[in-house]
Structure 1
Amino acid sequence: MTPRYSSFTQWFREGPFATYVRTVKSPGGFLNLMETAMPAVDMSDPAVPEIVLHYDVIGGFGINADLGAGRFSATSRPGDFLLTAPNFTNSVRVDSYHQIRSLAFPVAYWRQFFEDTADRTHSLDFGVLHRGTFTSPTIRSAQRQLWRLCDEEGAPSRLLAQAAGCEILAELCRLAGSPLASARGGLAPWAERRCLELMRERLSDDISLDELAAEARLSPFHFARMFKQSLGVPPRVYLTRLRVEKACELLEHTDIPVTEIALEVGYSSNQVLARVFLKHMRLSPSDYRRAVHDPVRSIALQ
């Protein structure tokens, strides 16, 4: 009897292709990320309650498959996407070596994000997108940034995963011909003020998009888009900015060890803080502290 799997990630980790899994990153049940590298293979994935978006890293393989909307054949190119329908036993044949990054969206969780949008009953079934390869600069950019931030910060935070998921699903809706209603303007001044206060108060927490949206009395989908209209960047980017600013303040005005500063601003270790800090400030936290405490000596040593 074929075992039942609760997720695509579980299937790959515990099923016959476990040896081909390179990386798994999961924030706890609402966006699972996995990278695999496999030879030519004939496989039939069991039905799982997720929609799974596959990104082709290197291209060049032929595929014959039924992902939920009828059988098709195609040759994949680098950057192409494949989308599997939820609760559907996929039939897939790949004819050569391939490297894939997969994002799995549990239907039970993400369906709630469609509340207060144009289509409250959206099933996360995207019709024609399940039949063939497709491209999307918007989704490609979002998933690349998501993986890059995961490499920098470890397992993605709830805010990072939820915001990226909203962006990707909204674009899938548009590509499938059922775009979500546009957000009307940015956040109200009171909502913007309260959300920023909450982000500052809880820098050390794994704050979620749901919590911020609730403060603004909006659905997560609408909140994410209205926040970007008001602040110019997505919530996850703004949170990183606040964390770096707070780290700079603590490095400048206290003698707190870097490890403690990392925890205070929401990072799991001083190594993670160092990667983020180096990217945004072009200095390590320790070098930044030395520079602000003794700028003359810092310049002389350069």
Structure 2
Amino acid sequence: MTVPAYSSFTQWYSEGRLASYVRTMKSPGGILNLLEAEQPAGDMSDPAVPDLILYQDLLGGSRVSGDMGGGRFDVTSEKGGFFLAAPNFANTVMVDARHQLRSLSFPTAQWQKVLDEAADGRLSLERLQVNRGLFHSPSIQSALRNLWVLCEEEGAPSRLLARAAGCEIMAELCRLSGAPFAPARGGLASWAERRCLELIRARLSEDIGLDELAAEAQLSPFHFARMFKQSVGVPPRVYLTRLRLEKACELLELTDLPVTEIAQEVGYSSNQVLARVFIKHRHMSPTDYRRAVRDPVRSIATQ
């Protein structure tokens, strides 16, 4: 193990020699940190940082060699494929062509306890078995894509969304590493489901965390996220977006509150964020929705 030269992966990519290659960086509350970079061929090694780092190759076709904490490898990358770098390890990576990557880092202070819960203390972030070169995972690919879309829509996902997405990805990393945990069976107890859904509704305008909801249900965040999906039918991130939209629609229909105020009431940072979410899910702006539900005849006539 190497003593970290930087306090985080984000700091390294903000201040280190590769900083100029970063195209987009998103840091939702330090729970998860995402960035996208376009880098040339050559030495792309990173110093030790106290983060578990998941890299996704967006182009493929590069020869990648080095050691990310699980032993040396020499592979040809594939579009959508992943590499995993162990925390507190100064990795060595050589790439023979220009490449584009998306990175997701898990600060160890935030995630070691979650991993302990997921794998019953039998795995550490340093010893996940998939940090030995290229690997594939459709479920991680889907979760990362969804998380990136959320970032594009909302700027930085709420603590609930970031933690829930991280739990989805961590569960798959554990499964790929042979972690001895059983698939989620059954959901939340009826009293726990009721109290958690009431809490989300009551604090919709706040940045409520997954940890708080899990504590309400007397569960760990990792197991709560999995059991929530079993009970409600969708992950917490999907349910929260659905609830925010329902509340926004209600306020647009029944009140004269400005759109900016409605956005804040449902937990979005601005009316622009609400507009992006509305256009994606309702295929119209909040203002157009208000006009349509209040005066449907006139709305149809103007189309």
Which TM-score band applies after superposition, normalised by the shorter structure? over 0.9
1:271 aligns with 272
**Alpha-carbon distance between aligned partners in 1 of 2:202 and 2:154, rounded to the nearest angstrom:** 20
1:150 aligns with 151
The 8 Å contact of residues 62 and 77 in structure 2, kept in 1 or not, is answered as yes
Deviation at 1:115, TM superposition (A): 4.8
Distance 1:144 1:59, change over 3 A: same
1:261 aligns with 2:262: yes
The 8 Å contact of residues 63 and 93 in structure 1, kept in 2 or not, is answered as yes
Distance 1:271 1:168, change over 3 A: same
**Alpha-carbon distance between aligned partners in 1 of 2:55 and 2:170, rounded to the nearest angstrom:** 13
Q: Secondary structure at the match of 1:129?
A: coil
What amino acid is the match of 2:244? R
**Alpha-carbon distance between aligned partners in 2 of 1:169 and 1:289, rounded to the nearest angstrom:** 40
Residues 129-171 of structure 1 deviation map (CA, whole Å, 9 limit, x = unaligned):
1111000000000000100110011112111110111010110
1:88 aligns with 89
The 8 Å contact of residues 250 and 261 in structure 1, kept in 2 or not, is answered as yes
**Alpha-carbon distance between aligned partners in 2 of 1:116 and 1:97, rounded to the nearest angstrom:** 39
Deviation at 1:118, TM superposition (A): 4.3
**Alpha-carbon distance between aligned partners in 2 of 1:300 and 1:8, rounded to the nearest angstrom:** 54
1:66 aligns with 2:67: yes
What amino acid is the match of 1:98? H
The 8 Å contact of residues 25 and 156 in structure 1, kept in 2 or not, is answered as no
2:301 aligns with 300
What amino acid is the match of 2:47? P
1:285 aligns with 286
Residues 229-252 of structure 1 deviation map (CA, whole Å, 9 limit, x = unaligned):
111100111011111011011001
Q: Which runs of 5+ in 2 are unaligned?
A: none
Aligned length in residues? 301
What amino acid is the match of 1:99? Q
2:132 aligns with 131
**Alpha-carbon distance between aligned partners in 1 of 2:152 and 2:95, rounded to the nearest angstrom:** 28
Task: Write out aligned runs for 1:197-276 (5 A).
Answer: 197-276=198-277
What amino acid is the match of 1:53? L
RMSD (CA atoms): 1.5
What amino acid is the match of 2:292? A
**Alpha-carbon distance between aligned partners in 2 of 1:20 and 1:244, rounded to the nearest angstrom:** 36
**Alpha-carbon distance between aligned partners in 2 of 1:12 and 1:211, rounded to the nearest angstrom:** 31
1:43 aligns with 44
Query: Which shifted more, 22-31 or 165-174?
Result: 22-31
2:27 aligns with 26
Deviation at 1:184, TM superposition (A): 3.2
Deviation at 1:259, TM superposition (A): 0.6
Deviation at 1:125, TM superposition (A): 2.8
1:193 aligns with 194
What amino acid is the match of 1:130? N
Deviation at 1:128, TM superposition (A): 3.5
TM-score by length of 1: 0.96
1:180 aligns with 181
**Alpha-carbon distance between aligned partners in 2 of 1:3 and 1:89, rounded to the nearest angstrom:** 8
Residues 281-302 of structure 1 deviation map (CA, whole Å, 9 limit, x = unaligned):
1221000111111110011111
1:167 aligns with 2:168: yes
The 8 Å contact of residues 118 and 181 in structure 1, kept in 2 or not, is answered as no
Distance 1:177 1:157, change over 3 A: same
Distance 1:126 1:135, change over 3 A: farther
Q: Secondary structure at the match of 2:241?
A: helix
Query: Which shifted more, 234-243 or 172-181?
Result: 172-181
Q: Which runs of 5+ in 1 are unaligned?
A: none
**Alpha-carbon distance between aligned partners in 2 of 1:44 and 1:97, rounded to the nearest angstrom:** 15
The 8 Å contact of residues 163 and 209 in structure 1, kept in 2 or not, is answered as yes
Deviation at 1:3, TM superposition (A): 8.9
What amino acid is the match of 1:119? D
Deviation at 1:117, TM superposition (A): 4.1
